[in-house]
Amino acid sequence: MKNLTLLLAGSALSAVLIAGSALAQTAGQPAETRRPNAQNQTPAFTGQTRAPQPAEMPKISHEVVADGLPHLWAMEFLPDGRMLVTAKEGVMHIISEEGEAGPEIDGVPEVLSGGQGGLLDVALAPDFATSGMIFFSFSEDREDGNGTSVASAKLVPDDQGGGRLENVNVIFRQMPSYDGNKHFGSRLVFGPSNELYVTVGERSDPEPRVQAQDLGSGLGKVFRIDMNGKALPDNPFVDQDGAQPEIWSLGHRNLQSATLDGQGRLWTVEHGPRGGDELNRPEPGKNYGWPEVTYGIEYSGSPVGEGITRNAETEQPVYYWDPVIAPSGMAYYDADAIPEWKGAFLVGGLVSQGVVVVHMDGDRVAYEERVPLDARIRDVKVGPDGAVYAVTEQRGGGESTILRLTKG
């Protein structure tokens, strides 16, 4: 683990490299120049993909604020400026402001960490400052398979930089279970009225993924629940026979990015197949198409289903990427330290290996820029200092780092 003060000098080269990359970008031209995977598909409207880069792109430098960490999946800032992180293998740590990881937090339940599973997202309760409550998602081993589950607990820090979880309670389980190791999702986002949005995947394989269109199944959905895991009374399907009442929207593939905008509305980015990563603003009761309507193609190169990209019953993505960025982690930038990014979404790119900056004009994408970091980005957060913090990972495991992105 490296102390932040020892890394400032070492980050100078990184600053030069990132600034140079920014200078090499061309305003008015798309950041993506490669051929799409689905060469016969066309966007439904202008600006739905390959938006131009903005005229003003800040020079961004980065420094490592913590390294030598286990394979991280998510991070969240605590009110005192420290960071709470989840590691895929099933542990939590508190990272000090100096970049040091404390001891493993006791009381984390057992997780299924094979494949894409593990200890996933973490979110502080809206009243965390007084309650100490956190919520976290994880892939849970079950008698009839496995699935994404959400638990609540009280985080009790200790004087050694660690702590424990008390009153751990699994409040919600994505059902049905499935014996697979892919597409668990998931992100947790609290809305302005303390509602909790839970994003999940459709488990990837051909048989279960079709359940993304089934209201009786919890695969490929966004859920909206209260802090006890119950459906909200104004959810769109609470009175529909056979439907899971927790469902907010359907027809999703694998949702690993979610955040609120400045109006308190939920936005998500989900993984597409080969091509077809989607930015959406999930609305109650609406169908986002997967796997019947989608951009991109199968990994084999064949069409997904009938190769349809639009119909009257499903929503078009606000924006899509082909080739993919492989999105994970998402934040809305409403700070002042990087004014050019004000009102933009920041999306971590696993395949694109950097942060994708999506500038909005109302509910449409106006510009897209990219900050190359030469690392898979698993999570993105805006810190209390207005800087952007990015969690890196290595494919297949290995150590993670936390980077701090600043202007200049």
pLDDT of residue 16 exceeding 80, the answer is no
| 300: region left, alpha or beta (phi > 0 left; psi from -120 to 50 alpha) | alpha
> Half-sphere exposure of residue 37, counting CA atoms within 13 Å on the CB side?
24
Q: What are phi and psi of 382, to 5 degrees?
A: -95, 125
pLDDT of 7 > 70? The answer is no
What does DSSP assign to residue 212? G
pLDDT, tens digit, for every residue of 95-123? 999 999 999 999 999 999 999 999 999 99
Q: For the chain, give me the number of helices (H) and strands (E)? A: 4, 23
Active site residue 71: no
Angstrom distances, CA of residue 6 to CA of 65, 98, 159, 358: 10, 10, 25, 33
- Evaluate if residue 11 carries a pLDDT over 70: no
- Cα–Cα distances in angstroms (integers) from residue 96 to residues 2, 88, 100, 279, in the given order: 11, 20, 5, 33
User: pLDDT by residue (tens digit) across 196-237?
Assistant: 999 999 999 999 999 999 999 999 999 999 999 999 999 999
| Catalytic option among 62, 183, 252, 271 | 183
For the chain, domain boundaries: 4-407
Q: What is the DSSP string of 164-192?
A: EEEEEEEEEE-SS-BS--S-----EEE-T
Split at pLDDT 50, 70, 90, the class of 341 is: very high
pTM over 0.75: yes
Tell me which fold the domain 4-407 belongs to: Neuraminidase (2.120.10)
Judge whether residue 318 has pLDDT over 60: yes
Residue 261's pLDDT band (cuts 50, 70, 90): very high
